[in-house]
A and B are shown apart, each in its own frame.
Chain A
């Protein structure tokens, strides 16, 4: 019996794109949160961590409204990206980035906060800007926390269900990722297909986590 591998590829693609986006967005955000002393800091920290405590359906619902072309932001995004955002792959990416944000930002922020401040000051006294210090000194010496962020965001996106269902709608070959495919197959009493997707997800997740622990052991002792 053959099964459609498309949902698995889609999950993989979504997790990869989301993780890349999260590296680009998460590192600057983690940096600002780690070193800012502003009064509003606890508020921003709480906002980043909201996806950890909110039901994915709540988050999915509001992101759906936010991205809807009926409202200003969604309409603006559609104009800029020149494509429908809800019930499409770009919509899934936006939702996943928001949903997995704490999995990237929190470990990276902790890594930055624990980084010896004297080394940052040493870079400043050598004439290096904040950006140069972040790129050449802080990031290379906090690889372990960055790795944690990358693996956790990737794994979390692979296993995402509620948010992608709300925003994507589970359209085959477009937004039906592996977790939704499993749900659909179980609903259709098609247990062998559900098992096919599930086994692959289990093996893949386990392999990713083993790889993470191997790399962590290698890079975790840098600082």
Chain B
């Protein structure tokens, strides 16, 4: 898939220009990494059609979702993108099962709901309302719901950042398992370097709307301020002094 986006975004420090042009391979999992307010979430929103760039091209699996030069701008409903929001965004009036059923197309078999409930380990919680679920369970429902829509790309907007560390680790394994099982293309937005290292094969490091570094997680974090951070985690704070 090709993602070329240009847009002036507002940040507390003032406006800045988002300008990225990347290719993501089929079945690849890439991360957008950077400080908050650098345009990561906006990129996901523009891919999903929730926000329009001033100029750009979004092409997924040979299908043009957005092309400013040709005047094409498919609405989010027509883009096969699964979106997992940071705050889960489950519908509070629907049970777990109903939340998943809502993602089905008209006339689609309801058995798929059971299959995906099993896939994310939520069997037995079908009749619960989101308010009676833990954060981790909510995000599993959100993941299953996004996948039920037959997406060509799964967009994860800091999906685990609202969870406690242990749940986050468990969910990272879960996401990895789902990724390996479905072989879906994934774009993950995160500001957690460990998460990025664990989940993605390629990282785009963003600063004020531009990609300043890209490549494998090791290469991207190597030589950056993050290397000091990793080094300290691995070898203890004493090692950093001699770093």
Contacts A118-B85, A136-B102 given; indicate if A125 touches B91 (C-beta within 8 A). Answer: no
CA distance A223 to B94 in the complex (A): 12
**Which residues of A sit under 8 angstroms from B90, Cβ to Cβ?**
122
What number of residue pairs across chains A and B have CB atoms under 8 A from each other? 55
B206 at the interface (CB under 8 A from A): no
- B89 near A119 with CB under 8 A, answer yes
- A129 near B77 with CB under 8 A, answer yes
- A122 near B89 with CB under 8 A, answer yes
Q: Which chain A residue shows the least CB distance to B155? A: A125
Number of residues from A at the complex interface, CB < 8 A: 18
- Other-chain residue from B75, B82, B87 in contact with A124 (beta carbon distance below 8 A): B75
A80 at the interface (CB under 8 A from B): no
Report the minimal beta-carbon distance from B2 to chain A, rounded to whole angstroms.
20
**Which residues of A sit under 8 angstroms from B79, Cβ to Cβ?**
125
- Chain B interface size band reads 20 to 34
What string of 1s and 0s marks CB contacts (under 8 Å) between A207-223 and chain B?
00000000000000011
CA distance A118 to B93 in the complex (A): 15
For chain B residues 56-106, which have a beta carbon within 8 Å of chain A? 75-77, 79, 81-83, 85, 87, 89-93, 102-103, 105
A128 at the interface (CB under 8 A from B): yes
- B77 near A128 with CB under 8 A, answer yes
- A126 near B149 with CB under 8 A, answer yes
- B105 near A127 with CB under 8 A, answer yes
B48 at the interface (CB under 8 A from A): yes
**Which residues of B sit under 8 angstroms from A119, Cβ to Cβ?**
89, 91
B140 at the interface (CB under 8 A from A): no
**Which residues of A sit under 8 angstroms from B105, Cβ to Cβ?**
127
Report the minimal beta-carbon distance from A121 to chain B, rounded to whole angstroms.
5
CA distance A76 to B198 in the complex (A): 70
CA distance A129 to B77 in the complex (A): 7
Report the minimal beta-carbon distance from B230 to chain A, rounded to whole angstroms.
33
- A126 near B103 with CB under 8 A, answer yes
Contacts A126-B149, A129-B77 given; indicate if A137 touches B87 (C-beta within 8 A). Answer: no
B145 at the interface (CB under 8 A from A): yes
- Other-chain residue from A127, A129, A141 in contact with B91 (beta carbon distance below 8 A): A141
A5 at the interface (CB under 8 A from B): no
B50 at the interface (CB under 8 A from A): yes
Report the minimal beta-carbon distance from B68 to chain A, rounded to whole angstroms.
21
- B149 near A127 with CB under 8 A, answer yes
| Between-chain CB contacts (< 8 Å), 20 pairs | A116-B89, A118-B87, A118-B89, A119-B89, A121-B85, A121-B89, A122-B89, A123-B91, A124-B50, A124-B75, A124-B76, A125-B50, A126-B102, A126-B103, A128-B77, A129-B77, A141-B93, A222-B92, A222-B93, A223-B92
Q: Which residues of A contact B (CB under 8 A)?
A: 116, 118-119, 121-129, 136-137, 140-141, 222-223
Per CB-CB distance, the 7 closest pairs between chain A and chain B, nearest first, are: A122-B89, A140-B93, A125-B83, A124-B76, A126-B103, A118-B89, A127-B77
Q: Which residues of B contact A (CB under 8 A)?
A: 48-50, 75-77, 79, 81-83, 85, 87, 89-93, 102-103, 105, 145-146, 149
